[in-house]
Amino acid sequence: MVSRLKPAAPAALIGSGDVSAGVLTSMSRKDRFITKLVSFLTRAVYQDVEVYWTGPVPPDAPQLTVSNHFGGFADGLVMLNVMPRRPGIVARDVIWKIPVAGRLMNWIGGIPVHKPEDRGSATSNDEMFSSCYDALRGDGHILIFPEGVTRNEPSIAPVKTGAARIALGARTSGVECIQLLPVGIHYEDKAALRSRVFVNAGLPLDLDAAAEEFESSGNSVTANDRDAVRALTEEINVGLRRVAPDYENWEEAYALNRAAEIALRSQLDDPAGEVPPGLRDRLANTLADRPETSRNLITQAVGEYRQDLDGAGFSDAELNSALSTGHFMRSLVWQVVVAALLFPFALVGAAINFIPYLIVKAVGLLRVAPSVAASIKPVTAIAVFGITWGVVIWQSISNYGWVAGVAAFILLPVYLAATIAFLERVVRLWRGFRRWRAGSGVRAITDDVRTRRTAVVEAVLAE
């Protein structure tokens, strides 16, 4: 399939969390506050948000970002956190019917879209189109999930024509240089709190350049031009599938991600290091585009290797990067020192946040689709932790005065961060211990297992 989206430029930018200008940024007070709030919430909900920019995005041009929609509310939160310019999110109008959510969407500049299947919805989207044109006209930024629905499958749903119609309509109304940016959101486990997220931003498509090609074939390019809308939608479809997870089924998604991880682990500068999720997801994405025979070969090789590993009782990380005693001891001392420094703050954080944590855990037990869980868990967490902290601040003011209340406002996030850091350090220590203990067992592993591993690496790299 031919696309105008050019190959990835090697000079890529990798960020973590807030990706914006290089130094302290200048933006409006409202934008600054929203950025800060979203950044804090994202850090609380996710362990890590890694961002990969395939190439530069013009900072001042009108921008229409299209993204996959696997995580419901979480997608909006993640995108608000990673995008250098805060986008106006185009979302279903049913959200505006929820009292607090509606106000929140208005506050962050959301744009409601009406769908015929939503009862009580308006019949026309003229207002939505006009709001999008206005936003783009002011060199603004809007975000659309062009699949139109949240997905529980590891693949992109058929891309609808809305994004293309908005882009072409805005161009017809006089907006120039619109950049269409495809962005893929990859969740390690979208239903879990404190999981990791990788955001893969592709190369922007210059709408004017694309429209010129449509015009050269004799078509007038407007939002009503079916051929142009169809062609642009296909461009968006191709761009999105390159950056977002798009697998045949869950089995293939698992196999290709494991295969990518195994192949990359052999190539890390530090063999004891962890494969960065972003690299793994990007390689797995390219494997998903390979011919079916190659994908089947990789899936089979991973299956056989996994069977052998399960029999031996090791993970690939343990087999490939067992820690030496010296390495483990150095790591142990360092982790214990840091954990000891964190402990008093972590203890206070645990005492304050234990009940809201239990409530969020209980919500996690509800049997709902993963995309629904990806929405309700962060929302519940934000609500219960917010209420708890409000009570603590109010109690501090009541008992000790305003200074204590303000100190609580400053320190509550510090205590929560300390608790999370402490617990994650303990988990890391346990994993390190397992890898060190695996050392003697790994040496006894037969050559057959290693041959199976080599088969996976070769299937990924040579196929």
Residues that bind other proteins (CB under 8 A): 2-3, 5-8, 10-27, 29, 32-33, 35-36, 39, 242, 263-264, 267-269, 275-276, 279, 282-283, 285-287, 289, 344-345, 348, 403, 406-407, 409-411, 414-415, 457-458, 461-462
Token representation of residue 266: 């052999």
CB of 373 to other proteins, least distance (A): 28
CB of 280 to other proteins, least distance (A): 9
CB of 95 to other proteins, least distance (A): 26
Nearer to other proteins, 442 or 460 (CB): 460
Nearer to other proteins, 358 or 414 (CB): 414
* Helix (H), strand (E) at residue 18: none
CA nearest to 388, candidates 420, 416, 417, 352: 352
Place of tokens 């659309």: 144
CB of 17 to other proteins, least distance (A): 5
CB of 111 to other proteins, least distance (A): 24
Nearer to other proteins, 17 or 432 (CB): 17
CB of 49 to other proteins, least distance (A): 10
Token representation of residue 109: 């500049």
Q: Please enumerate in sequence order all residues whose Cβ is within 8 A of that of 6, keeping only pairs 6 or more positions apart, or say none.
A: 203
CB of 288 to other proteins, least distance (A): 9
Token representation of residue 206: 């210059």
Is residue 410 within 8 Å of residue 392, measured between CB atoms?
A: no
Q: Please enumerate in sequence order all residues whose Cβ is within 8 A of that of 327, keeping only pairs 6 or more positions apart, or say none.
A: 272, 436
Nearer to other proteins, 329 or 341 (CB): 341
Nearer to other proteins, 329 or 414 (CB): 414
Distance CA 222, CA 309 (A): 57
CB of 22 to other proteins, least distance (A): 5
* The total number of residues written for the chain in this structure: 463
- Sign of torsion over alpha carbons 289, 5, 160, 281: positive
Nearer to other proteins, 79 or 279 (CB): 279
Chain centre to alpha carbon of residue 301: 28
Place of tokens 């956190």: 81
Nearer to other proteins, 280 or 435 (CB): 280
Is residue 54 within 8 Å of residue 12, measured between CB atoms?
A: yes
Place of tokens 């390690």: 188
Amino acid at 65: T
End-to-end CA distance of the chain: 20
CB of 369 to other proteins, least distance (A): 30
Distance CA 143, CA 145 (A): 7
CA nearest to 298, candidates 243, 341, 256, 340: 256
Nearer to other proteins, 81 or 179 (CB): 81
CB of 398 to other proteins, least distance (A): 16
CB of 267 to other proteins, least distance (A): 4
Is residue 156 within 8 Å of residue 339, measured between CB atoms?
A: no
Place of tokens 């744009």: 111
Distance CA 217, CA 227 (A): 10
Nearer to other proteins, 165 or 186 (CB): 186
- DSSP letter for each residue of 182-218: EEEEEES-TTSTT-EEEEEE-PPEEHHHHHHHHHHTT
Chain centre to alpha carbon of residue 387: 27
Q: Output the CA angle 447-452-458, nearest 5 degrees.
A: 120
Nearer to other proteins, 224 or 267 (CB): 267
Nearer to other proteins, 333 or 461 (CB): 461
CA nearest to 82, candidates 45, 52, 47: 52
- Sign of torsion over alpha carbons 244, 250, 252, 257: positive
CB of 117 to other proteins, least distance (A): 35
Nearer to other proteins, 36 or 97 (CB): 36
